[in-house]
Amino acid sequence: AQSVAQPEDQVNVAEGNPLTVKCTYSVSGNPYLFWYVQYPNRGLQFLLKYITGDNLVKGSYGFEAEFNKSQTSFHLKKPSALVSDSALYFCAVRDMSTSGTYKYIFGTGTRLKVLA
């Protein structure tokens, strides 16, 4: 079965510094990976996805993610953090069940706190 792991419950970073939120995956076959952000009492907002192609994927709000097949990782990055980036970040993998549907399997989330 497909799965993702987010090893850090919380990441603290100073404003202006680069940030990394980690995600590792376990899949059979080709991985389809996604990052979403959740602000308090809001739904999930799509940031970016990796389907195929370049290992460096660029997304919304200046975020990017690097797909690393040898390390089975898909870490989310941003060169310069903003206080407004403080939120809960979820990594997800597309799972294909025996019925052929493509539900998401989510990680447990990483809370990012950007300090002014």
Contact 2, 97 (CB under 8 A): no
Residue 99 binding other proteins, by CB under 8 A: yes
Smaller CB separation from other proteins, 81 or 93: 93
At its nearest, how many Å lie between other proteins and the CB of residue 73?
Answer: 18
The residue among 34 and 63 lying less far from other proteins, judged by its C-beta, is 34
Query: Looking at 25, 34, 35, 74, which residue binds other proteins (CB under 8 A)?
Result: 34
Task: Give the count of alpha carbons within 13 A of 103, CB side only.
Answer: 8
Of 98 and 116, nearer to other proteins (C-beta) is: 98
Q: Which stretch binds other proteins (CB under 8 A): 11-19, 43-51, 56-64, 68-76?
A: 43-51
Count of CA atoms in the C-beta half-sphere (13 A) of 56:
5
22 touching other proteins, by CB under 8 A: no
Three-point CA angle 58, 62, 64, nearest 5°: 35
- Measured over all CA atoms, what is the biggest interatomic distance in the chain, rounded to whole angstroms? 48
Name the region of 61 (left: φ>0; alpha: ψ -120 to 50; beta: rest): left
Residues interacting with other proteins, by CB under 8 A? 32, 34, 36, 41-46, 49, 51, 90, 94-97, 99-109
